[in-house]
Amino acid sequence: MQTITLYNGIKMPLLGFGTFQIEPKDTQQCVEEALEIGYRHIDTASAYNNEKEVGLAIKASGIKREELFITTKLWVSDMSEEGAKRAFEKSLENLGLDYLDAYLLHMPYGDVYGAWRSLARFYNEGKIKALGVSNFMPDRITDFCLHNVIKPSINQIELHPFYQNYYAQGINENLGVKVTSWASFAEGQNGINEILKSIGEKYDKTPAQVVLRWLTQRGIPVIPKTIRKERMRENLNIFDCSLDSDDMAKIATLEQNTSYFFMPNNAQHTEWIIKGKKIINGRVLD
């Protein structure tokens, strides 16, 4: 598996397995299958309510701990100095681990500075190998990096062919922060795109594989989610080709320059997220 190197020297797999929206009852089997196929980076979060099942899959796999890269995240309801301490320890317990490879602030809301102070102690103790954030827009990540001695090494953001976020990637890179793509396929909202399909036919790849290769060629780690074993294999099988400049130019035309889910700098979206609502295309779904 290809890796990227974070600013503190930690190596992170370029392609991982995401568990967002996988039901707890299905999570252990899915993660066990992903590990069996060859995934070594597993991404979860306390808000996904499946950390325990991820932990059971890790234990059942028998894979050496040092071969794995495990990421989880701190939710808004625990975003304080004391809350972060409790939540981190709970996540370790759920996962059955002694340390985490990456631990992220899931949203830029609440007492993020207090939470960061608490997590910095765990980082200094070696219980967190890489500290990071998620959904921090360019202004927020800049402010956060300039006001903390320990800077985030990762920022998970929405990033796909219809919301390409080159500007955000550049800001993060200049700060020493590596962006990771979530919703790499825009959760399938555009169906099968003909441009992606035609590029895929050129390399005998699916549109999804084209998207993952487009992202990884930009040096962006990806964490696609699927509950189908054959899709897990397909998502891993992307490194035997490289998109050329013509392909990249065609994908550039798909840019719509707007979030498909939520904007962290939108006051109404912020309220909805804190209240636990799901947002698609700027609208709340009950």
Give me the active site residues, please: 48
One-letter amino acid identity for 87? A
Residue 280 CA to residue 121 CA, distance in Å, equals 36
Residue with token string 């995240």: 73
Which residues in 47-71 are b (16+ Cβ under 10 Å) and which e? bbebbbbbbbbbeebeeeeeebbbb
Cα–Cα nearest to 87, from 104, 70, 65, 69:
104
Tell me whether residue 203 is exposed, middle or buried, using C-beta atoms within 10 angstroms of its C-beta: 0 to 12, 13 to 18, 19 or more: middle
DSSP-assigned letters across all residues of 13-61: ESB-EE-TT--HHHHHHHHHHHHHHT--EEE--GGGT-HHHHHHHHHHH
Residue 84 CA to residue 81 CA, distance in Å, equals 5
Q: Is 80 helix (H, G, I), strand (E, B) or coil?
A: coil
DSSP3 helix / strand / coil % (the chain, rounded to 5): 45, 15, 40
In contact, 180 and 222? CB cutoff 8 Å: yes
